[in-house]
Structure 1
Amino acid sequence: MKTITTIIALLLFVNFTQAQETNTGKTITVKINNIANNNGQILVSLNNEATFMKGKGIQNLKSTIENGSVILTFKNVEPGIYAIIAFHDENSNNQMDFETNGIPKESYGASNNDMSFGPPQFNTAKFQVRDEDVALNIKL
């Protein structure tokens, strides 16, 4: 009887912890409409200030392109300040390609769509996740 009670308690604990894990955080939905062609894929990276423009972000997604647009969703994002970087990986090599002079060969964009001269900056791309889901449109 003690073994059965222990098993039932363990199953309830596992189910309770799994339910909490799947329901934490908010979603960030990113829509990109102005993609030049359907070649390759779109790569999107969710970043905080520490990860912005420094390799992999907190969450990274990729999507094939249909009719010049994609919709991607980051799930279970905790409240905080973030920025998103997106680029059109036309040759599907999972990295941005550059000219010999350092100018990107592939189109890119960032949250808030500030496309000043030079690479995106965290301060102009940042947004806050609070107690509601977030929807963003990013232009490449």
Structure 2
Amino acid sequence: MKSLAPHDRPHEKLDRLGPAGLGDNELLAVILVHGFRAASAIDVANDVLDTVRGVQGLTRQPQVDLRRLKGIGVAKASQILTAVEPGRRTLVRAPERREQLGAPPDICFRGTGPGRSSSSAPCSWTPSTGF
């Protein structure tokens, strides 16, 4: 990483551009933190992504297979998989069902709260006056 200009280093880019401004290899390098003597975190990230065929491959990669890669031990494999898991779960879980609200008069019967009636009587909403 020291060979990269300071503004091109993953942590500095993350601070400046946010996560959307980083490439997949840079995001993984941030997770890895360090490489090893002969390779930077970017080098290790590139090797990992090449081996698993991109970020999507990380969601299907067993920890034992990641640990076979140079520079990836138990701790780094665990870091990678736990960083990827929330995103994987987001993609595979069905979204929570949320109650659909109908027309404004229907909303008045939903209970108390801001803009809601506390009684079961219909509210006085009309298209011309609002609530």
Structure-1-length-normalised TM-score: 0.19
The structure with the greater share of residues assigned to strand is 1
The structure with the greater share of residues assigned to helix is 2
Larger radius of gyration: 2
Structure-2-length-normalised TM-score: 0.20
Using CA pairs below 8 Å that are at least 6 residues apart, which structure has the higher relative contact order?
1
